[in-house]
Amino acid sequence: MAPQESAPSAAETESGFSRRTVLKGIGFGAAGIAAAPVLAACTGGSKPSSGGGGGGGAASKSVTVGSGSSDDVPKRAYQAVFDAFKAQSGDTVKVNTVPHNDFQNNINSYLQGSPDDVFTWFAGYRMRYYAGKSLVAPVDDVWDSIGSNFSDALKQASTGDDGKKYFVPNYNYPWGYFYRKSLWASKGYQVPKTFDELKTLCAQMKKDGLIPIGFADKDGWPAMGTFDYINMRTNGYQFHVDLCAHKESWDQQKVKDVFDNWKALLPFQDPSALGATWQEAAQNLGKQKSGMYLLGSFVTQQFTDKKVLADIDFFPFPAMAVEGQDSVEAPIDGLMLTKKAANNQAAKDLLKFMGSGKGQDAYASIDTSNLQTAKDADTSKFNALNKKSAEIIANAKHISQFFDRDALPAMANNVMIPALQKFIKDGSIDTKNLEAQAKSLYAAQ
C-alpha cells in the first residue's frame, strides 16, 4: 500500500523514543513494545562492506532491507527493484518483511536494536524526527550522484533539520475521492466542485441505496486524511502546517470549524468504519456498495480485475472556505539508511539505484498505483489515472505529507487516533483536551 504512516507511546516519548505511521497505528504502548522482539528477531544486518556496487567485481556484497510493505502488490514491487539491482550490481539483497502496522508501530525499537541496513519509510516530519535522534545515517554522498534526478521540492522533502539528506524518494501518490465511472454514469452523478455539491451528492447516493462515502478506520490512520483535507479547505495549507507543528492552538474556533464541517459528512460515511480496514473498504468500492472513497491512489492495488481497475477514477477534495483545491495530500515513500550501515557501500548503491529511473521503473512495473519521482523514470506507460494523478500533483500550489507524517509522532499516535475514532463514533470532540495533550507532548521535545 502506499500508505505508510505512525508514532510512539507516552512512555516511549518520555524516554526519547518515537515513530510514525499511516497505519494503524502507530501505536506503541504495551502491545507495541511486546511485539518489538518479533521485529528485531527477523532482522540481521549485514556487515559493513567497502567497494562499489556496480558490476561484477570481486566478491559480491550483501544488503538487508527491513520492509513494512507487506501487502502483496508493494511487496512484489520492491522485490522487482531488488532483483533488478542484483542483476546490475551483483550484490545480494535479503528482505525482511514485517506486517505493515507492526513495522511502523515498532520502528523506534527496531532502529535502536539490530536493524537492517536499509528500510522502507516516508518523507516529512517522521523522517526528520529519527534523523534528529541520530537513529539513521545521512546519505549526502548518495545524493551527490542522484541529486540532479529530483525536483527541489523532493530534495527538500528528503532533507533533515541539520541540512543533510536522509531519504531517497521512490514514489508519491495523491489522496482524493475514488469512484467507479460506470456506477456514476448509470446514476447520472456529477463530480462535485464544492463542499455543498458533495453533500448534495451524498444525499442522493443514500437515497439510491448506496453507502455514499466508503470509510474505514480500524487501523486509526485513514481518518487523518479526511481531517487534513477539511482543515486545509477550511483554514488553508499554512494553518495545517502550523497546527501540526503546534504553532497554532488546538483549542480555537478554526479547529472547531473543521469538526463542525466534518459532522455534515458523518451521516454519509460507512457506519461500520471503525471495524473495517482500508482494504475492506476498497473492496466495497469495487463491488459498487459505496459511491466513493477518500484514500490515496494506492487504493487501486486492491482491484486485480483489469475491468474494475479501468473503471476507477477520482477527483480532488472539493473546495470549501479558503483555498479552493490548491492543496493536495501526496505523501512521498522511499528508502532510508540505518546508522549501523553508514559505511556499507552496497547499501548506499541500493539507495542510488532506488534514486534512478531504472530502479523506480522496476517498482512501477508491478505497482502502477503510484507515481515515480525520478526525472528519468519512464512515464510512457502511465494509464489515464496515473496521468491525472501526476497532473493534479504538478498543479498543486501546496503538497501536504499527511497528518501522521507532518506532526509529532506521539501527537498522531496517542492523541489523534483515539480522538478521531471517538469523533467518528459519536460526533464529539474535546479541543481543550487536544490542546492540553499537544502542549505537553511538544514541550517535551
- All three cell numbers of 224: 487523518
What pLDDT band is residue 183 in, cutting at 50, 70 and 90? very high
Average pLDDT over residues 45-59: 40
Q: Which of 90, 93, 58, 61 minimizes the C-alpha distance to 78?
A: 93
Least confident segment among 18-32, 114-128, 162-176: 18-32
Cα 131 from Cα 136, distance rounded (Å):
6
Give the H or E element holding residue 88: helix 72-89
What pLDDT band is residue 15 in, cutting at 50, 70 and 90? very low
Instruction: Report the SS3 class of residue 54.
Output: coil
**Please, what sign has the CA dihedral across residues 209, 214, 219, 220?**
negative
Task: Say what the pLDDT of residue 24 is.
Answer: 30
Domains recognised in the chain with CATH numbers: 10-172+332-383 (3.40.190.10), 175-329+405-443 (3.40.190.10)
Give the distance between the most distant pair of CA atoms in the chain: 69
Cα 229 from Cα 204, distance rounded (Å):
23
Length of the chain: 445
Helix 345-354 × helix 357-364 angle, to 10°: 70
Instruction: Report the SS3 class of residue 355.
Output: coil
Q: Phi and psi dihedrals of 66, rounded to 5?
A: -90, 120
Q: Which of 309, 325, 326 minimizes the C-alpha distance to 317?
A: 325
Q: In what order do the strands lie in the sheet with 290-296?
A: 211-214, 290-296, 175-180, 312-315
Q: Which residue type does 388 have?
A: K
What pLDDT band is residue 46 in, cutting at 50, 70 and 90? very low
Task: Say what the pLDDT of residue 398 is.
Answer: 85
Helix, strand, coil content of the chain in percent (nearest 5): 50, 15, 35
Give the H or E element holding residue 315: strand 312-315
Task: Say what the pLDDT of residue 157 is.
Answer: 86
Cα 346 from Cα 414, distance rounded (Å):
37
Strand-pairing partners, residue 92, are: 62
pLDDT tens, position by position, 205-243: 999 999 999 999 999 999 999 999 999 999 998 999 899
Going from the C-alpha of 364 to that of each of 67, 125, 142, 360, the distances in angstroms are: 17, 26, 22, 6
Task: Say what the pLDDT of residue 323 is.
Answer: 63
Task: Say what the pLDDT of residue 426 is.
Answer: 96
Cα 179 from Cα 191, distance rounded (Å):
10
Q: Which residue type does 38 have?
A: V
Going from the C-alpha of 373 to that of each of 34, 115, 121, 201, 228, the distances in angstroms are: 37, 26, 15, 34, 23
For the chain, what is the mean pLDDT? 86
Give the H or E element holding residue 236: none
Average pLDDT over residues 335-339: 97
- All three cell numbers of 19: 515513530
Contact 5, 86 (CB under 8 A): no
CA dihedral of 359, 364, 369, 372, whole degrees rounded to 10 = 40
Q: Which of 361, 325, 406 minimizes the C-alpha distance to 128?
A: 406
Task: Say what the pLDDT of residue 60 is.
Answer: 55
Q: What is the DSSP letter of 228?
A: H
- All three cell numbers of 275: 471495524
Report the 10 Å Cβ neighbour count for 339.
15
Contact 93, 350 (CB under 8 A): yes
pLDDT tens, position by position, 103-153: 987 898 999 999 999 999 999 888 988 999 999 999 999 999 999 999 887
pLDDT tens, position by position, 83-105: 999 999 999 999 999 998 789 87
- All three cell numbers of 278: 482500508
First to last CA, the chain: 31
- All three cell numbers of 253: 474556533
Whether 392 shows a pLDDT value over 70: the answer reads: yes
Q: Percent of the chain at pLDDT above 90?
A: 72
